[in-house]
């Protein structure tokens, strides 16, 4: 019986291993996105007051809204910052209370926390799914090779 040759030259095992590695990489990126959105260890949440907001001009490279907000740090200082949030973030009105994340070591470098409605979990979940599919492919290919060896040994 003639042995089947893959005309593409890429083995199924190699493709499955590539899927596993890509899945792990995408999962790592997804976890970074989650941490960035939810705050890194050591960052502090505080409530700020939105002072003003203005949308970027239509011809700007990045579309979004500039928010200027003010918050107090534990030593009593008031910090005023502005930040641009893309249109995918939630929108606020002047005078609203917003959540700000900042490091106690550098309270002047705070950032507005914007809820993405759970979308920050999509890269991590996609990476996990890709890794599982790749792992299934690896196991399937290894079992297929094992069966082939057993059939060849009996013959």
Q: For residue 93, what is the DSSP state?
A: -
pLDDT of residue 93: 76
Poorest-confidence range of 8-17, 50-59, 69-78, 86-95?
86-95
- The position carrying tokens 């059939």 is 151
Q: Rounded mean pLDDT of 24-43?
A: 74
pLDDT of residue 132: 93
Q: Encode pLDDT of 114-127 as tens digits.
A: 766 667 788 888 89
CB 62 within 8 A of CB 79: no
pLDDT confidence tier of residue 7, bands split at 50, 70 and 90: low
Average confidence score pLDDT of the chain: 79
Helix 12-38 crosses helix 122-154 at what angle (to 10 degrees)?
Answer: 160
CA distances 57 to 54, 62, 63, 64, 114, Å, are: 9, 9, 8, 9, 21
β-partners of residue 148 are: none
What SS3 state is found at 146?
A: helix
Q: Which of 88, 77, 148, 144 is nearest to 110 (CA)?
A: 77
- Tokens for 111, please give them: 């950032």
pLDDT of residue 5: 61
- Tokens for 101, please give them: 């994340």
Q: Considering only the C-alpha atoms of the chain, give the largest distance between any 2 of them, rounded to a whole number of Å.
A: 84
pLDDT confidence tier of residue 145, bands split at 50, 70 and 90: confident
pLDDT of residue 2: 55
pTM: 0.53
Q: Hey, which of 26-30, 108-112, 116-120, 131-135 has the most confident mean pLDDT? A: 131-135
- Tokens for 28, please give them: 């790592």
CA–CA gap between residue 77 and residue 79 (Å, rounded) = 6
């Amino acid at each position: 019986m003639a042995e089947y040759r893959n005309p593409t030259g890429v083995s199924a095992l190699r493709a499955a291993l590539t899927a596993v590695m890509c899945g792990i990489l995408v999962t790592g990126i997804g976890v970074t996105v989650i941490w960035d959105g939810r705050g890194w260890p050591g960052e502090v949440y505080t409530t700020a007051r939105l002072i003003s907001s203005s949308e970027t001009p239509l011809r700007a490279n990045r579309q979004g809204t500039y928010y200027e907000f003010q918050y107090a740090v534990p030593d009593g200082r008031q910090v005023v910052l502005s930040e641009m949030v893309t249109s995918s973030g939630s929108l606020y009105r002047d005078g609203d209370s917003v959540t700000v994340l900042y490091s106690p070591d550098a309270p002047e470098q705070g950032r507005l926390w914007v809820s993405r409605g759970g979308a920050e979990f999509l890269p991590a979940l996609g990476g996990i799914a890709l890794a599982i599919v790749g792992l299934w492919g690896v196991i399937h290919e290894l079992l297929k090779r094992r069966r082939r060896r057993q059939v060849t040994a009996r013959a």
